[in-house]
Amino acid sequence: MNAEAYLGLGANLGQPAQTFKSALQRISGFAEILGTSSLYRSEPFGFADQPPFTNAAAKISTDLSPPALLKELQTVEKDLGKKVIRENGPRVIDLDLLLYGDLSLQSDELVLPHPGILMRDFVLLPLMELSPDLSHPQWGPQTLKSALGGLQKRFVGEGPGNRSDWT
């Protein structure tokens, strides 16, 4: 049984667009890529003394369970050279499993939907490109669009230089 899932991609070291392409090529070995967003340039979240981030989202179809999918994503990160120096610190690649259908899950390894989705424009904007009216039972009537309107702090700057195509 296949499930639709959404992934967040982020990086601020190396060449993010090329790294994202390499990541998606690897991901296509265990999931079907249904769509990708534009690239979004954002200020760092958490640890501010680092380069700006590039973020994107991908919609996939997979027959893997959420824990198995997470494990595969972590393998892709490792293969592409991810090293965590500090939480929210600089990285060559970060792959987050944001949503897996309507599933709600909480374990030591994985929380679904990802708890940061509705609070971070660098996650919301790429997701909205793929599915603007996306919602989740856990969010009640709130959609990505309504969550974006309620954000107090923005990390993605305004203007054409903060959004670009890459695929």
Q: What is the pLDDT of residues 27-78, one digit of tens each?
A: 999 999 999 999 999 888 776 678 888 999 999 999 999 999 999 999 999 9
* Residue 39 near residue 79, CB atoms below 8 Å: no
20: containing domain: 3-164
pLDDT in tens, 97-119: 999 999 999 999 999 999 989 99
Element (H, E) at 71: helix 66-79
CATH no. for residue 150?
3.30.70.560
> DSSP string of 103-142?
--EE-SS-EES-TTGGG-HHHHHHHHHH-TT-B-GGGTT-
pLDDT at 151 over 90: no
- Confidence label for 158 from pLDDT (cuts 50, 70 and 90): low
Number of domains in the chain: 1
